[in-house]
Amino acid sequence: MLETRQLRVFVALAEDLHFGRAADRLDLAQSALSRQLQDLERRLGTRLLNRGRRAAVTLTEAGQALLTEARIALQQIDRAEAAARRAGRGEVGRLEIGYVVSAALSGVLSSTLQYFRQARPDVQIQITAMETPKQLTALRDGLLDVTFVRPRASYPDGITASVVHRESMLLAVAANHPLAQRRVDLHALADQPFIIPQFDESAGFAEHLAALASSGGFEPKLAHRVRDFISAIAMAAAGYGVVPVPRSVACIGLDNIVFLPIHGYAGLAELAVAHRSVGASPATLAFAALARMSLRKSLTAGAPGYAPPMP
């Protein structure tokens, strides 16, 4: 098999037709240059250059044939090396990204995607809305690379996560609900039926409801469990109950619904970015680093014009 360094020596000699100039070009001693050429000729079993003490250096017929193919081969090798380096820096490839809907509503998803596209425009992106338990399973199984999830007290083995966004909670109630006409204090919720977006697990917004009820000193009345915030808000608008929601959900424009502060409750809804702790691609790590900048952005009181540094 031909060696790349021998091909580079040969191409330099074939183009310069001068041992001294080719040696300077490659920053090699002439003796080392000559040995590389001789090794290549021995490997091929033919002379590639006509060279003598007084005669000008010229290409043999075999040298002419090799020069054309050697240039093509070296160009391909250079492209391969460049592609590998770019992939190693996370500049190319593909990311499968999962997210809970509130990651989109809060702007965390779109802002991270925007800054990531600016930093790494050649990385292909596929995003999929998915509830947190399914995201974590898909992440563990290698079906997703990075995810926006509701934080958990613990994660499956091999998955790491960091909180990237925090926001206050509001109460969604029907516009004609008695609570819509006055200040909502915790004690006013003691007799209210609650609608909770909850999946097949104990973690999630049921924990927020438990914390809210604990702060108010009452046992919550859980009237309905649904699969998503839009379903919960639609039921609340129809009068089936009230829904504690992250502030960002208030951007959903459904009729007959209002969003109210909950006085006396300081709980925060959080989002986390998660990925595999071992074997994550450079592009995955770069995306997660940008997502973590979202928390810094929120802590700077949303200063206009903020943009996180490119990793």
DSSP code per residue over 143-177: S-SEEEE---SS--TTEEEEEEEEEEEEEEEETTS
Q: Between the CA of residue 31 and those of 10, 34, 37, what are the distances in Å?
A: 14, 5, 10
pLDDT at 147 over 50: yes
Per the listing, tokens 């079993």 go with: 45
Fold classified for 95-311:
D-Maltodextrin-Binding Protein; domain 2 (3.40.190)
Looking at residue 203, its pLDDT comes to 59
Mean pLDDT of 287-307: 60
Mean pLDDT of 91-100: 88
Mean pLDDT of 266-292: 91
Residue 260 binned pLDDT confidence (cut-offs 50, 70, 90): very high
Looking at residue 297, its pLDDT comes to 58
Comparing 118-127, 176-185, 269-278, 289-298, the range with the smallest average pLDDT is: 289-298
Looking at residue 235, its pLDDT comes to 93
Domain range summary for the chain, segments of one domain joined by +: 4-88, 95-311
Q: Please report, rounded to a whole number, the percentage of residues in the chain having pLDDT higher than 90.
A: 38
Residue 125 binned pLDDT confidence (cut-offs 50, 70, 90): very high
Per the listing, tokens 């007959």 go with: 256
What residues does 247 pair with on adjacent strands?
none
Q: What is the pLDDT of residues 162-218, one digit of tens each?
A: 999 998 999 999 999 999 988 898 888 989 999 988 755 555 677 778 888 888 888
pLDDT at 311 over 60: no
DSSP-assigned letters across all residues of the chain: ---HHHHHHHHHHHHH--HHHHHHHHT--HHHHHHHHHHHHHHHTS--EE--SSSPPEE-HHHHHHHHHHHHHHHHHHHHHHHHHHHHTTSSEEEEEEE-HHHHHTTHHHHHHHHHHHH-TTEEEEEEE--HHHHHHHHHTTS-SEEEE---SS--TTEEEEEEEEEEEEEEEETTSGGGGS--BGGGGTTPEEEEE--SSS-SHHHHHHHHHHHHTS--EEEEEESSHHHHHHHHHTTS-BEEEEGGGGG---TTEEEEE-BT---EEEEEEEEESSS--HHHHHHHHHHHHHHHHHHTTT-TT--PPP-
Comparing 58-62, 77-81, 180-184, the range with the smallest average pLDDT is: 77-81
- How high is the mean pLDDT of the chain? 85
Q: Look up the pTM and report it.
A: 0.70
Looking at residue 2, its pLDDT comes to 77
Residue 242 binned pLDDT confidence (cut-offs 50, 70, 90): very high
pLDDT at 82 over 50: yes
Looking at residue 300, its pLDDT comes to 39
What residues does 260 pair with on adjacent strands?
171
Looking at residue 310, its pLDDT comes to 39
pLDDT at 87 over 90: no
Looking at residue 177, its pLDDT comes to 93
Looking at residue 201, its pLDDT comes to 53
Looking at residue 199, its pLDDT comes to 56
Fold classified for 4-88:
Arc Repressor Mutant, subunit A (1.10.10)
